[in-house]
Structure 1
């Protein structure tokens, strides 16, 4: 049994959940564990643990450096700096007149399995077509491979030499603006205490949010604010709306999940997120035939 006293920890449960949530988000932006593992030097199962709230493992310094290099910006390091009350500045900042917002939001999004399957079918078709044409394309590809490289190359090498496969794996967006807009963004970012990159990224993330419900509640915005998943946010909203004046709600987890239109099978996981972040407190634990009672935290 560990003799460590949690009361002496200099990170709170909220801090640790925030680190986990940001790690999970940025690894997805870096292509997901399956792609990022090749530049991080860490297997996929461990990368998944870095973002899992139920695992004790946290991302280490070497992987943070690899992650930020893969993203092209110190996004994870900046998150940690912000937690300590600092903001990052480049060692050699460009003159103010030369600062632009070009490519501030270079966002990588892992595609669905269906997209990957379509890419695999296209590659299989090209392979068959290459064989029918005498394999000339395959010969050219092997000629371009570096000496000593394994046949077929690594996954990352394949992504680099096959633009069509890379297009199946990521989406890129570039944001451009005039100088006046650039100055406004820089001023707003300074007021918010973050870099221009982080400021634009935050607004970029919101463009695909689900619209607010009839009470003005937006699950995606709530999830980002409190470091939980959007499905956990939907569960919280259903419970909040059914709570009494004292903020207490009673009911079964399956009923709450059904009302929130989320998977009842994962309802306990989403509830654990809410409890870990202090958004929900258990008043009466649910029993086999008796529903539980929960107190909802007041949030701004």
Structure 2
């Protein structure tokens, strides 16, 4: 496993289930950090879907076409399937970067495991359903009490122990609850209770994420985010609510301030 550049805070978005808003959330975090003046790089490990890579390619084309200077992270997609290629791209992106945002495939992947082990902040987005909860834990079918952590939770537990032995640091594991508002209330409470139980057992934090909004899908072709809403289009109530969600999520992530001179802007 390659060493981590000490000056770069690595944020890895990882979930072996698809459809959780992982890539959309990763891009929004990257742009939000870049908009504050941080030097941000993005590494898309999913060479099949390449959602983050395409999102940022679309953004670069919008900047070229419109002439508007939007915050733009540098980015790369992991096209090589060798450890050497992974390490070369990893270190290239970390050069002069305050943050490295890594988006992983929605499946088990050896490079995703390596990225998780190298992370400072590990974010696992999930929807509020027991289908998604099954990734990290199992519940009793009648009482909905947690019966055991899943293989994935044990994998992250082992990665955290390995990091502690390696350099004495810890991985801040964050479970991010996306798309909350369309979940039936009783089911939401059951999932919330199960998450709280499991968090005490395996040691992750639970924070609110982004809602289920059409606007997130509509912005993809232009590579835009809610950070850019004032520059492109009107600010309706949905936009205002979405920007507030993003602000709350960024605060809950508890990321360090960048060392860049204008990071507080």
Greater share of helix residues, 1 or 2?
1
TM-score, structure 1 as length reference:
0.25
**Structure number, greater radius of gyration:** 1
TM-score, structure 2 as length reference:
0.27
| Larger RCO, structure (CA 8 Å, separation 6 or more) | 2
